[in-house]
Amino acid sequence: MADVTSRKASTDVLGNSAWNAAAFAVAVALNLLVLPFVVFRLGVTAFGVAGLVTACVAPALAFSNTLALSTTRELALRLEPSRRDDARRLFATAVMLALATGSSIVILFTLTGAPLARLGFHLSGPSADDLGLAFALASAGWLCQCLSVVFLALFTARQDYRSVALISIISTVVTTCSMVLLIPRWPQASTFLGCQSLGFAASLLLAIGWSRRVIGDWMARPAIDRGALGNLVKLGGWQLAAQGGVLIAAQADRYLLGALLQPQFVGFYTIAQRLEEAVYIGVLKVGEILFPFFSALQKETDDRKADLLFRSSWILNVLAASALGGLTPVAGPLLHLWTGAEVAAEAQRVLVILSIAGILGSSSNVFAFYLLAQGRSSSNALIALLTGVFTLATSAIALPYFGWQAAGWSACIGMIAQMITVVILLRRHFSLTGMWLRLIHFVLMPIGIGIATALALRYGFRSAQLDQALGWWYVGGLYVLVAGIIFVVAVAASQAGPYGAACWRDLRVIAGRFLPIKAI
């Protein structure tokens, strides 16, 4: 009976990952298709200004992301029919928090964002004139996103990732279509940000309508309940600090590039970061379903928790090393084909560095989900804050001295600091024999081999003087080939050691779930 339950849980986790991956694949495909069109119509400078406005509004995501995680976790603990009233009070409190706090943040950005951006980033001319509308639209889009995550938490708490995925796909289509229709008519940074806000508004409307139709009995009008507020704040306080550290780490280079250099360099950086983030967030989305899965393991033994934790980490580390490492050898041809020769010349080195940083950062994602699911928000906050401090300090030192060429190195340093912090915290959390062997086999080995293989292949391609002006099919084929090589090398290396059989068994389970043929 226990074996049947375990298999069902494994199937549910894999199915949820498939829905997350499908939604993300659609979003990535549409974003990658429309971005060259946007850059061509707006120009790199206006696109860079839009990136600066997005970076300025990004700190607000610390609140909305924290609210989403806290609401999801608390609702997941109240799924029994007997606790419906408690869940309704919690939902009502979360909606009121989103409305009250979110509206205040929007007013703050609308009134102060443009003047501070002109001063801090030395903007003038038409770009500066458009800042007021750009901040208003960007902050309004964030408010729609903040409200929608509360309604989506109703589905996420039930692990109904199919509904979440469908809403995400439709909102992405709305964003893409609006860009194609509106940007040629009004080629400004504010138009680009307004189109993104339309997508967030569509997501909010869909989330409200869908949740009312499917689980309307679990919803309630906005109101504050002290008990529910205390539960949300208890988890959210530390998580807010954690999200703040993550956002500092993600935006540090963009802030300093905007302050020290011209907006077009922010545009180059944003293009490279968009491509790397598309792959990185894809891996993150696949692993995101582990949060409610780990939340259900509260009563398991430490040995069982550690086994599932490290095995999940190995799978996502191999996936991240393959997907992100595949960008490294083809960075130049891919950017040349995607956005043109000028962007490829300036941004390919940054894309390589950011891809390496993404591989390093992926090593900590599963552990972050586990710590959060176990209610250890203070540990996540410490990880994020130390990552942000090291990232910001490196950017502040390197960019003034080395300029544009140093962009991206701070992300690598921050991710290394993050890895070290996670290892120390895990060592304190689990008192298990063979802990270091597990860390080496499941974490350090796949990412180390992935990075080394990717850099070796990049050197080989450069030695072969690979032509920059290649066709889409050729570049796509090279990416798939490189990712496949990294995957095979990482899996082969993982067969050595005492955990090789467990790694192979997990691969067979995944292959049997998704491949049309029976796994060997």
Question: What pLDDT does 463 receive?
Answer: 58
* Residue-by-residue DSSP string for 323-376: HHHTTTTTHHHHHHHHH-HHHHHHHHHHHHHHHHHHHHHHTTHHHHHHHHHTT-
Q: What's the pTM?
A: 0.73
Characterise 185 by phi-psi region: left (phi > 0), alpha (psi -120 to 50), beta (else).
alpha
Secondary structure of 112-170 in the HEC alphabet? HHHHHHHHHHCCCCHHHHCHHHHHHHHHHHHHHHHHHHHHHHHHHHCCCHHHHHHHHHH
Q: What gap in Å lies between CA 291 and CA 372, rounded to an integer?
A: 7
Instruction: Give the HSE-up count for residue 140: Cα atoms under 13 Å, Cβ half-sphere.
Output: 17
Low-confidence ranges of the chain (pLDDT < 50): 1-11, 518-520
Q: What gap in Å lies between CA 95 and CA 100, rounded to an integer?
A: 9
Question: What pLDDT does 16 receive?
Answer: 66
First to last CA, the chain: 25
DSSP symbol at 442: I
- 463-478 pLDDT per residue, tens: 555 555 567 778 888 8
Question: What pLDDT does 1 receive?
Answer: 41
Question: What pLDDT does 10 receive?
Answer: 45
Give the CA distances from residue 313 to residues 31, 246, 281, 426, 450, in Å, rounded to whole numbers and listed in that order.
28, 20, 16, 13, 14
Question: What pLDDT does 181 receive?
Answer: 93
- 292-335 pLDDT per residue, tens: 555 555 556 666 777 777 887 888 888 889 989 988 888 888 88
